[in-house]
Amino acid sequence: MSETRITCEVNGRKVARTVATHKRLLDLLRDDLNLTGTKEGCGAGECGTCSVFVDGKLVKSCLVPAARAEGARIETIEGLAGMGPLTPVQKAFHKTGASQCGYCIPGMVMAATNCLRLNPEADIDEIKERMGGNICRCTGYTKILEAVEIARDVIAGRRPEGDLDTDEPLGDSFIGHNVRRIDAPAKVTGRLRYAADMKLVDMLQMQVLRSPHPHARIVSIDTSVAEAMEGVECVITAADVPGKDGFGVFVHDQPIMARGKVRHVGEAVAAVAAEDLLTARRAVAAIKVEYEPLPVIGTPEDAIAPGAPVIHDYAPDNVVKHIPLRKGNPEAGFAEADLIIEDSFSTQSVEHAYLEPEAGVAFVDHDDVVTVHSPSQNITHHRHMLADILGLPINKVRMVMSAVGGGFGGKEDMIYQGMLALAAIRTRRPVQLNFTREESLIASAKRHPSKVSYKMGLKRTGKITAITFDMLSDGGAYGMSSEGVMRKAAILSCGPYEVHNLQVDTRAVYTNNTPSGAFRTFGGMQAQFATESMMDIAAEALGMDPFELRRINMYRKGSITHTQHRLDRASLDMVLDAAETASRWESGAPNVRGAARSDMGGPDTRQPCTLGARIVAEAADLSQGDHPTKASTEAAE
Amino acid sequence: MLTYDAYHRPTSLPEALRLWRDAPEGSRLVSGATDLLPAARDGRLGDVHLPALIDLTGVTELRGYDFANGHVALGAGTVYQDFLTDPVLRRALPCMPYVSIWFADDQIRETATLAGNLVNASPVADGTPPVVALNGLVELSKLDGDAITSRRVPVRDFITGPGRTVIAPGEIMTRVFLDTCYGYGGAFQKVGQRRSLVISVACCAALVKLDESGRVFEDVRLALGGVGPGPIRLDDSERMLRGEPLSEELMQAAAGLAAEKVASRSRRDYRRDVVVSFVRAALSEALSNAGAKAPLQTMEDMANV
């Protein structure tokens, strides 16, 4: 590995480091200068968590070879405020509550700073445009954009600086009110360290060999070449697990690395801990695995077909969980219906795409306590499972929840902490594993794709008489949170409506797809998509106003829910009133376009996405200029 | 993960050409490096090891631009952001600010070059359709002994297929020659799934010049990207419009011809539908930017019909 000496100015100070020639500017900043406020969210220029200034221009440091920093002047998030007070942009982000998980925030602050340096008068369209290269998954951008506008006005002197430190008075509700988060200063300055930002003395880097097959028997794993490589401290496989291998939020069906067979593309098969990342990657490439492909189940329908291949021996029917709900007499309910509607609804797999890819650090402390730092959304459960897997008493296992750079349910599964702990035990050295974005996409759980077959019976009056709701969900290769998701989908199945006769079945089944797991709404979204679509279809068929139809059927105080629970209060009436007013709904069936109905192209309709705010703004100036009449040469910067 | 043993930063063209001629097999030239680094990742090329990268950003001769004979000769180091920020380029190349604003994002445009976009010859490159519409020629230079020799190749001949060009070993693209189009209205239409950082499903560059009356097409330039192995110039549509008075029917007919050009193997029907609306919208936008007097239908109007 060749090395290069790089001398540059970083945040006003001269620095010189000798680094591997192939490093990126991002690596130089994070690994060699410990400036970990600059994050790596994707490594491909897509997300903007690594934005830094190079000679005054904002660039994505994951796309800049480190050697290009030679002689350059670099400014990172840590340099914006330096030792002084926060900048107006940073203070404004704090004021509006713009930082949530915080992982995108250093990049967002840099992009906002760049925008206002280039055009202190940028309007909201130009701000959006100039920040278009930075992604946030928590905020919906509203508070971020609001912060940039406040900072702009303070910098321009249109708004007193003191505004940045004072809070807006709280009105009747916290909804829509900006709340300062106490951890915002750590986030807007890049000081907060996530797991990938941790560095421990003598720390090794882990890389993981993943399955290229959706379903295959592992015939053999040969790690001898990898283990013999200089700098490789250990290679681990399922054979090294000392205790009872298996984790999962409900059923412990997943080994920390594939045991005997792989069940989805991207499943961990072996892991290497080495002195540096490159050595670990080369060692992973040197592991030889012989696979014998097995028949693949690609869809949930295939999983329940007679004679389907079996993915887990414990579940010969491939069913992870079936939740049946029964209430009243659906047959009788349909018999009294004036109208019966049948339809089916499918939803797709969805990735959480939190800006922080999975990362963790494990070590064995002086008292033999195996300690794992990771952005786990479920540390206590992880701790219990890990103790069993490692064959250790619970007091010898410690789980620390590092700052979570977005989770949305996707970090509830213990998909890598076991490998880290095992490697730390084997090497007695700290071990770190930072997923790449691609690895996060391929290995982490997704929202359950689902298919709902729906049948609804209604009276002419709009009253629902019966529902059958049958959901078949793709649980993927492992159980993870499927059981809970199916339970929640069943509980919420028929919506916030009182239905006296219902038959609800939700099932998640094993397939050889990427495992499905927890994701915001936890099964509710898939069910509500079906139910609310049915309500609109029913309103149209009955020629009835959709709000009215919902009011006729909604839960009220004293209603009995789908799971036979008597409600002592209900608020759907207020929700419907608020939604009806806010949307300026003109009463009538959904397919009627009234004179005043402004739901299409009305004042609150989001305008089509356009770009070019700054071109339009400058076009007037340009049209005044003369055409150049002679050759001119200008050196580009 | 991209690794390499050597990183060279030549400061002159002779030095760059010498390094490139003598570079070990498999070495790469980079300017922005914004395509190479994301390519060397899992799911695309995987881990890539190269003997050497030769970084052209320090080469003085590749900076700036000259005007001569109705052309602008852009140094190969010209980055996309220049088309937005440099008023001289904006006047000379009226479609390029619109191309640029849709290209990647502000940060990537600071280092990504038009020349690099052409050399990579991606079928979905945003840069090739406007260059084709501007009758682009690329200059390829190499060392012949110690002397630098150059040849010029029309962009339509330079790109021979996805990722394939006629560039020869030892050659570096040094300049891009484009027609100057003063007084034209420019436009660029692109469909993708996101506003920034999106790879085109299809794109269209348009340039329109009106005669003195403001009611007749004096010149029209149209080119499509993303709908075939290389960029496509819409010669038939241009001929149909050139010299004709502005009319909705004629523009619709000219746009309709674009559907026949779609040669993509994937999502072909969708692309055939989309390019017709695109060409129509690009013409409207270009006309509006050319200062056409009649109020013209916009994309949004068409969508709301």
As a whole number of angstroms, the distance between CA A405 and CA A105 comes to: 10
**Of A3, A55, A60, which to mutate for an interface test with B (greatest number of B Cβ within 10 Å)?**
A60
Nearest-neighbour CA in chain B from A263: distance (Å) = 19
The predicted-structure confidence for A204-237, as pLDDT tens digits, reads as follows 999 999 999 999 999 999 999 999 999 999 999 9
Residue holding tokens 């993960």? B1
- Give B204's contacts (C-beta < 8 A, 6+ positions apart): B129, B188, B189, B190, B222, B223, B224, B225, B258, B275, B278, B279, B282
What are residue A451's DSSP bridge partners? A346, A472
Same domain, A57 and A109: no
pLDDT in tens, A388-440: 999 999 999 999 999 999 999 999 999 999 999 999 999 999 999 999 999 99
Mean pLDDT across B67-84: 97
User: Residue A134 is part of a domain; what is its CATH number?
Assistant: 1.10.150.120
Q: Does A279 touch chain B (CB under 8 A)?
A: no
Concatenating the DSSP letter of every residue in A225-294 gives HHHHSTTEEEEE-GGG--S---B-SSS--B-SS-BSEE-STT-EEEEEEESSHHHHHHHHHT-EEEEEE-
Residues A304-359 pLDDT 10s: 999 999 999 999 999 999 999 999 999 999 999 999 999 999 999 999 999 999 99
Q: What is the CATH number of the domain that holds A14?
A: 3.10.20.30
Give the torsion sign (CA, B98, B99, B100, B105): positive
Measure in Å the smallest separation between the Cα of B130 and chain A Cα atoms.
17
Q: Which of A508, A524, A553 is the last residue of a domain?
A: A553
- Residue B305: pLDDT band by 50, 70, 90 thresholds? very low
Q: What percent of chain B has pLDDT over 90?
A: 81
In-domain check, residue A216: no
Give the pLDDT of residue B264: 76
Confidence category of residue A32, pLDDT binned at 50, 70, 90: very high
Using a 10 angstrom Cβ sphere, with 0-12 exposed, 13-18 middle and 19 or more buried, the burial of residue A242 is exposed
B186, exposed or middle or buried, with CB in 10 Å at 0-12, 13-18, 19+? buried
Q: Is the pLDDT of residue A104 over 90?
A: yes
**Residues A455 and A486 both lie in one domain:** yes
Answer whether A278 sits within 8 Å of B107, measured CB to CB: no
pLDDT digits (tens, 9 = 90+) for A507-524: 999 999 999 999 999 999
What gap in Å lies between CA B143 and CA B149, rounded to an integer?
Answer: 6
Verify whether the Cβ–Cβ distance A129 to B98 is below 8 Å: no
Distance from chain centroid for Cα A35:
24
Q: Is residue A118, in this structure, part of any structural domain at all?
A: yes
Chain A closest CA to B66's CA: distance in Å? 5
A323 and A462 assigned to the same domain: yes
The predicted structure's pLDDT at residue A572: 96
Whose tokens are 């907060």? That residue is A192
Q: Hey, are the CB atoms on B107 and A625 less than 8 Å from each other? A: no
* A60 at interface of B, judged by CB pairs closer than 8 A: yes
Of A62, A132, A636, the CB nearest to B105: A132
Distance, CA of A302 to CA of A308 (rounded, Å): 7
Mean pLDDT, all residues of chain B: 92
Contact A58 B92 (CB under 8 A): no
The bridge status of strand A73-75 relative to strand A261-262 is unpaired
Domain boundary among A169, A192, A215: A192
Task: Look at chain A and report how many structural domains it folds into.
Answer: 3
Enumerate the β-bridge partners of residue A403: A194
Residue ranges of alpha helices (H) inside chain B are: 13-22, 36-39, 80-85, 87-92, 96-102, 106-109, 114-120, 128-133, 155-158, 235-241, 248-256, 268-289, 299-303
Q: Class for domain B2-58, per CATH?
A: alpha beta
Same domain? For A60 and A106 the reply is: no
Residue B230, pLDDT score: 84
Helices A546-553 and A524-542, packing angle to 10 deg: 110
Does the distance separating the beta carbons of A632 and B110 come in below 8 Å?
A: no
For residue A145, the distance in angstroms to the closest alpha carbon of chain B comes to 16
Q: What is the pLDDT of residue A119?
A: 96
User: What is the predicted pLDDT for the residue at A634?
Assistant: 36
pLDDT at A621: 53
Report CB contact under 8 Å: B64, A622: no
Token pair 């989908």 is at which residue? Answer: A489
Q: Using the predicted structure, report yes or no on whether residue A631 has a pLDDT greater than 80.
A: no
- Mean pLDDT, chain A, rounded, equals 94
**pLDDT (0 to 100) of residue A612:** 86
* Tens of pLDDT, residues B124-143: 899 999 999 999 999 999 99
Chain B residue numbers touching A133 (CB-CB < 8 A) = 104-108, 196-197
Residue A425 lies in a domain: no
| Per-residue model confidence as pLDDT tens digits over B176-215 | 999 999 999 999 998 877 778 877 778 999 999 999 999 9
Structural domain of residue A161, as residue ranges?
76-192
Alpha carbon distance B150, B174 (integer Å): 9
CATH tag for B185-303 (out of 3.30.70.260, 3.90.79.10, 3.20.20.10, 3.30.390.50): 3.30.390.50
Interface test with B, best of A1, A21, A22 (most B CBs within 10 A): A22
Sign of the CA dihedral with A418 first, then A421, A426, and A427 last: positive
State the smallest CA–CA distance between residue B270 and chain A in angstroms: 20
Chain A residues near residue B6 by CB distance under 8 angstroms: 2, 21
pLDDT higher than 60, residue B99:
yes
Asked if residue A120 and residue A4 are part of one domain, the reply reads no
Cβ-defined contact of B197 to A46 (cutoff 8 Å): yes
d(CA A535, CA A515): 31
Confidence of residue B74 (pLDDT cuts 50, 70, 90): very high
Edge-to-edge order in the sheet of strand A288-293: A261-262, A216-222, A288-293
Most distant pair of Cα atoms in chain A: their distance: 89
Q: Cβ separation of B195 and A611 shorter than 8 Å?
A: yes
In a domain, A138, yes or no: yes
The ipTM estimated for the assembled molecules is: 0.94
Task: Provide the pLDDT for residue A628.
Answer: 38
Pairwise CB contact (< 8 Å): A278 & B1? yes
Q: Give pLDDT, residue A601.
A: 65
The whole-angstrom distance between B244's CA and the closest CA on chain A is 25
Please state, in angstroms and rounded to a whole number, the distance separating the CA atoms of residues B167 and A376. Answer: 51
**Residue A552: its H or E element:** helix A546-553
Give which of A3, A23, A55, A57 to mutate to test B binding, by max B Cβ within 10 Å.
A57
Q: In this complex, is the C-beta atom of A630 within 8 Å of any C-beta atom belonging to chain B? A: yes
Tokens linked to A159? 């708004």
CA distance A413 to chain B (A): 23
Q: Is A24 on the interface with B (CB under 8 A)?
A: yes
The count of other CB atoms within 10 Å of the CB of residue B126 is 25
Q: Is the dihedral of CA A631, A637, B3, B8 positive or negative?
A: positive
Please tell me which residue of chain B has the smallest CA distance to A607.
B300
Determine whether the interchain pair A436/B41 forms a contact, defined as Cβ–Cβ distance below 8 Å.
Answer: yes
| Residue numbers in B near A442 (CB within 8 A) | 42-43
Closest-CA distance, A122 to chain B, in angstroms, reads 14
Query: Measuring CA to CA, which residue among A466, A457, A597 is closest to residue A541?
Result: A457
A95, A152: one domain: yes
Q: CA B114, B117, B121, B127 torsion: positive or negative?
A: negative
Preferred mutation among A63, A210, A282, A630 to probe B, highest tally of B CBs within 10 A: A63
Contacts of residue A440 in chain B, CB cutoff 8 Å?
A: none
Q: Is the pTM of this model over 0.80?
A: yes
* Domain locations along chain B: 2-58, 185-303
**Chain A interface, best mutation among B95, B99, B106, B289, by max A CB count within 10 A:** B106
d(CA A553, CA A544): 13
Among A494, A527, A553, the domain-final residue is A553
Residue A393 region by backbone torsions, left for phi larger than 0, else alpha for psi between -120 and 50, else beta: beta
Helices A482-492 + A524-542 axis angle, to 10: 20
Distance CA B23, CA A529 (A): 59
Q: What is the pLDDT of residue A583?
A: 80
Question: CA A550 to CA A497: how far, in whole Å?
Answer: 8
Closest CA to B204 of B237, B179, B181: B237
Same structural domain, A183 and A317 = no
**Looking at the structure, do residues A15 and A142 belong to the same domain, yes or no?**
no
Specify the CATH number for the domain of residue A483.
Answer: 3.30.365.10
In a domain, A538, yes or no: yes
| Whether residue A337 is found in the same domain as residue A479 | yes
**CB-CB neighbors (< 8 A) of B82 in chain A:** 636
